[in-house]
Amino acid sequence: APHPVVDVCGVTHFADNPPVLRASSRPASPRSASGAAMAATAMGGARVVGAPKFFAAGSRRTVRGASALRAATRPAAARRSIATVTRAQAGQTAEGDRIIDVSQIVVPEDLIGIRAYVRWEEAGMPEDTPPEWQAAEYAKARLDLQLEVLNGVTLNDIRRRYNQETVDGDDEPIFSRGDANVMLDDAAGKFTGATSNVVPMETRPTPLDDFAPTIDIPGGGEKQKVAIEPEEWIEPPPEQVGEYHSDAPAHRDLRSVISHHAGGDEIAAPKYSAKTFMSRWASFDSPNTLVNQRLYTLGDDSEMLVQMYQDVAEDESASSGPRKRVLSRSVVITTDSQDDLVLHWGVAKDEPGQWLLPETTVWPAKTTAVSDMSVETPFVSGQGCLPAEAFDKDEVEPGEEDLCYPIQQLTIELPGEGADELMGLQFVIRNKEGTSWFRDEKNGNSNFHANYATTQHSKAADELLETIIRSEAGNGWWTLMHRFNLASTMLEQKCAPGASEKSIAKAVAAAAKIYVWLRYSSNRKLTWQRNYNVKPRELSAAQSKLTKTIAKLFCDAPHLRDITRLMLGTVGKGGEGGQGQQIRDEILNIMHRNDIKEKKGIWMEEWHQKLHNNTTPDDIIICEAYLAFLKSNMDISEYWRVLSEGGIDRARLESYERPILAEPTPRPTKKVALIKDFQNYLKILKSVHSGADLIECIKTANKGLGGVSPALNYARVAQNGGGDAIQLLAACVDARHELRGAGLANPSDQEWTRELLYLDLSLDDVARRAVERSGEANYGLEDQMRLAGLVMENLALSLPTSNEDIVLALIDWRRVEEARRGGDSQWALRAKAVVDRVRLAVALHADDVAAKMQPAATEIGVACGIEHWAVDLFAEEVIRGGPAFALSLVLSRLDPLLRAEADMGAWQIISPVPAVGYVKHVHSLREVMNETFTRPTVLVADKVGGDEEIPAGSVAVLTTCSVDVLSHSAVRARNMGVLFATCYDEAVLDSLAALDGEPVSASVMGGDEVVWEEVDASAVAVGAGAGDVSSVPKGLKLAKIPFCGKFTVPLQEFKKGVVGAKAINTLALNESLGGGKIPAWINLPKSMVIPFGTMEHILDDAVNAGVKAELVSLVAAIDDSSETALERSLAACRACVKHIAAPAGMLDEIETAMVAAGIPAPEDEDRWAMAWSALTDVWASKWNDRAFVSLRNVGIDHDDLRMSVLVQPVVDADYAFVIHTVNPSSKDQTELYAEVVMGLGEALVGNYPGRALSFSVKKTSGETPRILGFPSKNVMLKIPRQTLIFRSDSNGEDLEGYAGAGLYESVPMDEEETIHADYATDPLVWDEGFRTELLSKIAEAGVAIETALDGQPQDIEGVVKDGEIYVVQTRPQM
């Protein structure tokens, strides 16, 4: 009879020869020599190419999957430890001779070899086993079969089980009776090295009658039955944990951990070491009508290119207006295969996965129907020719114009838009004889497809999300396999180097959306099966492909390593098919070995049916629950407990397409055997569905790592309890560094990288649990500090793309620990600064996660009907489940200890005034900045940046965020008489936030603590009090300043009504310097001004007529009804201002003024364009939201605001400072307060998060400056070239009684470079002599300037370059 080949779309094809199924080549599973020989015997005449997949001929049974030779049944006697079988009545041979030794039973050696191989598989396929072990296993295999024969099993029964040819005469039992126990006792002596996990017979409980199985003892008369008594499971004792100590951190170069990848936003195209003819064919001369193409492998040595084209034209007659219309489509399939090929295909109309019979109008020549849903078309053979330019020079002969190669091609024309429109094709390929079939072996061996639905540009804003939602929210078939396959395709198309997304930012955004999708899937928020059954090997292959795609992205795209690492944790490792097939086969083998019938209504049979049709990660939990049931002496409550902890309830079990309705059946006499079997089965499930199991990951990576290190072994032993949490965390961190050295630091091999990443993820999980355990320990300060350092390091290892901030903080932390041990009196203050910086880094990381993931989580979640809480908390749960949250927990425990050591209270008082009002808890100060509260309000804000306006009606702003004392928000609070303070104890502020809506009275006690009490509503004077609307100065007016008639004003002509207060004070400083009122060592920058009214003047120029008309319209339409509406309308105004053009001669006049002032002018047109852009940015800042709100709240007409611009060269500063010559917190006239940052001053005056180094000093005593706080800002700003800065200098910044300073922008011509601050190498932080000298000099400059300006308190900005002091501006302190 012909051999059945493969069932494709309901059609079974036949061939005269055994079929060949081609698959990707991969290393063969390790097997012993006898196992390999035995495998070849069992496979018979079938031909196998690549993977061991084949069909046997005629009536012979098919051997299944990678476990080709696994027994379908295994006898109970062969399973049990030989010393535990109950004694049975002695028997005799048919001849009447007593059997005195089991070795008298002869079994053919070929069957023993097969049985030995099956035992090796059941042992987990161990590698490099010693000869002694192999010999013992072979002897045990012989004994297994001898016992079967003794109990009446025929040799042909054994052969049929292993798919071997039967032998005439072997269908009769060799023995009719046997003394099993005597022989087993004899045999037991031959395996003295074996151990047993069985309770002695006299301690075993009485078996349950209903479940006590029996064995038949064949005899001449009636059968005798002997009950088998149950065994008891004894859990092996845990390994001794011991201790872990390592000096590795002392020798570790932490800077090597910092991620470094190519800058910019362009993704470098991948470099290929060699190009095939088909890849050249794909890349050469692609017309505009090509909408998608993909290259596949066919077998071992051929490729296939699928190209999709469509013709599009304008449809002027469309009722909705002109639009694009698809006129026609065509799919072109090209291959370089040398075998004559046939396309077996169908079309999709309503869903991408449909397989429908195509209309004859789209059939190419020689197409024939082969079923009611598919046709076949032979490929057309020919030659494909490419011009010589498509090849490398060494591949082309001199004078050769074209190079040709034999190819086959087929074109299928499809209709365009309309009633007959098709989504695309589904197809597979076969050779002409039908003996070889080709599918998409990199996509779970699924059908090939050409799907136009995924190439259309959606009307939705996000094509990627729409594709995900269309697949998930529909009612068609859908499974984990399809999800994983689609995810693989999307990652390749959207994220891989050389993919459609060339921008790093776009690739990161796409990867984040795919991660959201996969996380929803792993959390069971999306269906795992709908109207489709998937074979385990197909799911396993899809998982394998996806995880390898992710690992390849980790190797090739450094900018995606944070996300791809997270992504890998949502998907089990999978396999090429063998592991998945084991899931299907082994459950049946277990049932047969333990004589459990495939009977409807039995729990194990129901689970077997689910596993057979759709195995999912739930099966790991189910297996663990069943093991808990068995080990608890069949306590059903343990089964439900484990299921519940794994997120599975009865409803979920019943929701499977093959539901599990029954509960497990107690089988006391099978318990030990079942425990052993299902412990092994759990490993199989985890190998497919769970990649990050520590023990399994260690086994997989062990050989490549060269063995298990002490750190890795300690993590393995201590992961589930025992030992010290800090030692366990140290071991995890050391082991993770070892993995970096083994390949994760510079990944290249995707297979090895995948194994290392899974091991790294499992260690990260153990580290997280160690941190949780540490909360139960009573650690002292030193241990808490060591713990914090380890958790920082662990987080740095978990962020391979974005860890620089954490690593630099960690290096600084190591210096702090050394300073503490060395007796530094300021170590606690230093430590507090590092903790604040790390907290800021964690907060920024959380914000980044939320920004990248929450919008996609919301869109997918809402469209797919996911519970609203799971949608709303998605980003938060991502953070809470990772090492960043673990770090925040540790820092929360450490912070109060450091504050106590540094003699710091729980508060930093910024504006110390009493307040009475109603509590209002808000997420951020910015979101309520535009509001006007109608009653006095005490704001408790989770986030304050320092650049926000204080809302009208607020009497207090209290936050946990560190805010600079000299930030805009701080200055405005002091100016408005609003209580403003930072609380470092979250619990304290949470207790106030809990009073949301209640009236309270708050005040500053002892100068360093905010206290409050609840009061009666009558105590709150509505409409009165500090910060209330009535207390804000009103009636302030700005003089209408006309244009002075010229575009520039030199320093000597600075005067009121023409330039702003900054320029006026700059002139005063220069005059004081020239008159000797300030020391000569204070440097002043060169300056010129673009005066008031310049913007308004050039808007009247004809060149800007259109811009002016648009701006007038936009200003009239400003909507301040909400913060969102205000931001949107003001942004439109700013964008309009950016289109203002310079009238003729203006730039020439500015250049002349710059040269005259000694300011280097821009060198060329490009640089002038940058200068003009910076100038218009300053003008546009008139319409920033905080300035608009501030002017509105004090009643100033926004139209009266005019902006002059102070132009100065930028000093490439080492440090920048701001001085208030009167301490703003204490109001002490004799004390100066200052803040200093590394780099440019925008990090300070621009209110970048974190704290600057702050100090105070008495003006006249000459004492050493007193450090109030070390820096915690995470960034510094630099401009690595000579450039200019355009400083805002409006007429609304320094009004009497109104602190308008800092409302408008100062913009450098070149964009600042943002660099993570490295305080560990900063002499200002660590060199006391350098620090004292520099701060004293800054303070001296402040006192000198205040004195020179008639003793009026000053707000001074300056920089330090090479030890020299530069004062860039000063104004009266508000």
Active site residues: 968
- 3-state secondary structure at position 646: coil
Contact 345, 427 (CB under 8 A): yes
Burial pattern 410-448, b for ≥16 Cβ within 10 A else e, equals bebebbbeeeeebbbbbbbbbbebbbbbbbbbbbbbbbb
- Start-end of H helices in 598-635: 603-613, 618-631
Q: Which residues contact 10 (CB under 8 A, 6 or more apart)?
A: 371, 372, 373, 374
Count helices and strands (H / E) in the chain: 40, 39
In 3-state terms the chain splits into helix, strand, coil percentages (rounded to 5) of 45, 20, 40
Measured CA to CA, the distance from residue 1154 to residue 1148 in angstroms comes to 10
Q: Which residues contact 18 (CB under 8 A, 6 or more apart)?
A: 3, 45, 46, 47, 54, 55, 56, 57
Could you tell me the CA-to-CA distances from 1341 to 169, 957, 1078, 1217, 1364 in Å, in that order?
Answer: 112, 33, 8, 11, 11
DSSP state letter for 1320: G
Q: Are strands 11-15 and 3-8 parallel, antiparallel or unpaired?
A: antiparallel
Partners of 215 in the beta sheet?
226
Partners of 1235 in the beta sheet?
1218, 1254
Measured CA to CA, the distance from residue 969 to residue 980 in angstroms comes to 9
Instruction: Say how far residue 709 (Cα) sits from the centre of its chain.
Output: 28
Q: What are phi and psi of 557, to 5 degrees?
A: -125, 85
Measured CA to CA, the distance from residue 1001 to residue 253 in angstroms comes to 52
Q: Which of 928, 962, 958 is nearest to 941 (CA)?
A: 958
Measured CA to CA, the distance from residue 1282 to residue 1086 in angstroms comes to 14
Q: Which of 129, 138, 148, 68 is nearest to 110 (CA)?
A: 138
Measured CA to CA, the distance from residue 1226 to residue 1212 in angstroms comes to 33
Q: What are phi and psi of 1251, to 5 degrees?
A: -105, 145
What's the token pair of residue 1305?
A: 């922008």
Tell me the HSE value of 253 on the side-chain side, using a 13 A CA sphere. Answer: 5
Q: Is 1250 left (phi over 0), alpha (psi -120 to 50) or beta?
A: left
Name the CA dihedral angle for 637, 640, 644, 647, rounded to a multiple of 10 degrees.
170
Contact 452, 308 (CB under 8 A): yes
- Start-end of H helices in 707-826: 710-718, 725-739, 750-774, 781-798, 804-821
Q: Which of 429, 453, 237, 191 is nearest to 333 (CA)?
A: 429
